[in-house]
Amino acid sequence: MKTKLIIISLFISTLSFASQNVYTNLPLKKAIEIAKENNIELEIAEFDTEINKLGVKIANGYNFGKLDATLMGLRSNDAGNVFGFKLQSREANFGDFGFSEFLGGVGQAISLSEGNFAKFAQMMGDPAMAKRLLSTTPSDLNNPKARNHFDTKLSYMIPIFTGFKLKSYKEIAQKMVEMSKYDKQKVLAQKLFEIEKAYYDISLLNRFKRALNNIYIDMGELERTTKEMKKEGYAKKSDLLEVKSKKANIERMIIQTKSNLELSYDFLSFLLNAKVKSIKSVPSDAPEFSISLKEALNRNLDIKKAKKGLEIQSKMVDVAKSSFYPTVGAFGEYGSSDNKPFNQFFDHDRYTVGMQVNYNIFNGGADSAKIEQEKLKRLKVLSQIKLAKKGIALKFKKIKTEIKNLNAQIESLKSEVRLAKEIFNTYLAQYDEGLTSINDVMIKETLQIQKLLELQKTQTERNAKILELAKLTYGEEI
């Protein structure tokens, strides 16, 4: 049984892998299109937008009131309930009041009067007789038989005027939809940043790996040269060991670079929710784009979202003001009752209609305080927008300055890499002629690798800054 489960699991895993898209030589533009369609975080953000859209429908639905259908079944022998059941069913009679026992006392008085009306009137006028009749406790009224009661009704309530509260809530819900779109665009901006950075990182790692491979080939040539020179007695065993050690070190760096490439491809595959085996390389240096600070602030998604929050807070002030308006509502009910469900429905039916006006005269000053509270919240949001603009402006200028400094460093490092390679080749030629030691050659080779590493690190940092600046200035068009 356990073996079967393992086989089924492997089969499902194979099907899952086979169904996943696999991309090779994938261009950046295509990767962005795939992310927009497949990225799970974007899908979650889209759910938030759809949820808020339903919030608009909910807010709008309150304007149309509420219609309820109710079917209630009861059974009781409580005197008040039984009499109420009969009355609601339009079936109450004088016998339910206990008139049968009351009339029995009257009949007794008639019998005693022997048909003499004057005598009957005298007897009925006797206080003792009146007291005895009125003190009769009717069993029909006080001890009725248990009765079933089935009540069916439709109730409809509708707000006519709510002091503009419902209107304000609907507008707030609509602005929440717009705000959720900004949230989705922020997620997309972050995904674009991560995808583009992964592309530049992979491209730089590929170029660094090729440079290391070339150095590894040079070390192989140097190893063969050193072996020949050792045979001729021009090189020592330690020279050969030093070359082999350096070659092994370069091989280790190549393996490490390959591992970093695999991790970068795994991350890119995660972002696209698809397997990426290779990409179409992008330039080592991400292109800069020209944008003014004013335009960047106008396009920034965080500021747009904050402004939308300010609009929502302004509407919350209107909601608080609604407490100073009267509220008007209407009500209608239609139903029928009987001791059997739906029995003689239209014979026992009933209706009730009405309207209610409610006006708050005094609430201990709480409503006024609520308005002031919402106004202060609005001022707080306004201050937060001003602070956000200053913060983003400062960040914008800082990144621009950092990019400028990194550009200068990269130009200098590129020159240093070229010079380090020329110096290494010069020392390598001198070593072939026996004019320098292998130790000097290794030092220059180490310097060459060091400059390559510095250049790759600086280019990676510069690309990240340019992409971060782009993310800062992304607007609604992404």
pLDDT tens digit string along 419-443? 999 998 898 888 888 888 888 889 9
Residue with token string 């009679």:
93
Residue 155, φ and ψ in degrees, nearest 5? -120, 135
CA gap 199, 284 in Å, rounded:
10
Q: How far is CA 214 from the centre of its chain?
A: 49
**C-beta neighbour count of 42 within 10 angstroms:** 19
Q: Which of 100-104, 142-146, 157-161 has the highest mean pLDDT?
A: 157-161
Q: Where are the alpha helices (DSSP H) in 233-351?
A: 237-272, 293-299, 301-321
pLDDT at 327 > cutoff 90 = yes
pLDDT, residue 300, reads: 93
Calculate what percentage of the chain has a pLDDT beyond 70: 86
Residue ranges per domain, the chain? 22-65+163-472, 67-150
pLDDT, residue 16, reads: 45
pLDDT, residue 320, reads: 93
* DSSP code of residue 280: -
pLDDT, residue 5, reads: 40
CA gap 203, 206 in Å, rounded:
5
pLDDT, residue 394, reads: 96
pLDDT, residue 474, reads: 85
* Least-confidence region, from 3-7, 20-24, 242-246: 3-7
Calculate what percentage of the chain has a pLDDT beyond 90: 62
pLDDT, residue 3, reads: 44
Mean pLDDT value across residues 54-66: 92
Mean pLDDT value across residues 218-241: 85
pLDDT, residue 431, reads: 84
Mean pLDDT value across residues 12-28: 67
pLDDT, residue 309, reads: 93
Fold of 22-65+163-472: Outer membrane efflux proteins (OEP) (1.20.1600)
Mean pLDDT value across residues 393-399: 95
Mean pLDDT value across residues 173-197: 93
Mean pLDDT value across residues 374-402: 95
pLDDT, residue 83, reads: 81
* Least-confidence region, from 29-33, 80-84, 414-418: 80-84
Confidence of residue 55 (pLDDT cuts 50, 70, 90): very high
SS3 344: coil
Instruction: Transcribe 45-58 into DSSP letters.
Output: HHHHHHHHHHHHHH
| Cβ-proximal residues to 202 (8 Å cutoff; 6+ apart), any chain | 261, 264, 265, 268, 279, 281
pLDDT, residue 2, reads: 42
Structure tokens at 383: 């201050």
pLDDT at 4 > cutoff 70 = no
318 half-sphere exposure, CB direction, 13 A CA radius: 17
CA gap 388, 380 in Å, rounded:
12
Confidence of residue 12 (pLDDT cuts 50, 70, 90): very low
At 339-374, the pLDDT tens digits run 888 888 888 899 999 999 999 888 888 989 999 999
Task: Round the average pLDDT of the chain to a whole number and report it.
Answer: 86
At 66-112, the pLDDT tens digits run 999 999 999 998 888 888 888 888 887 766 666 655 555 555 555 55
Residue with token string 């020592």:
236
pLDDT at 8 > cutoff 60 = no
pLDDT at 1 > cutoff 70 = no
* Least-confidence region, from 5-9, 141-145, 437-441: 5-9
Confidence of residue 455 (pLDDT cuts 50, 70, 90): very high
pLDDT, residue 82, reads: 84
Mean pLDDT value across residues 54-62: 92
pLDDT at 182 > cutoff 70 = yes
Cβ atoms of residues 162 and 322 within 8 Å: yes
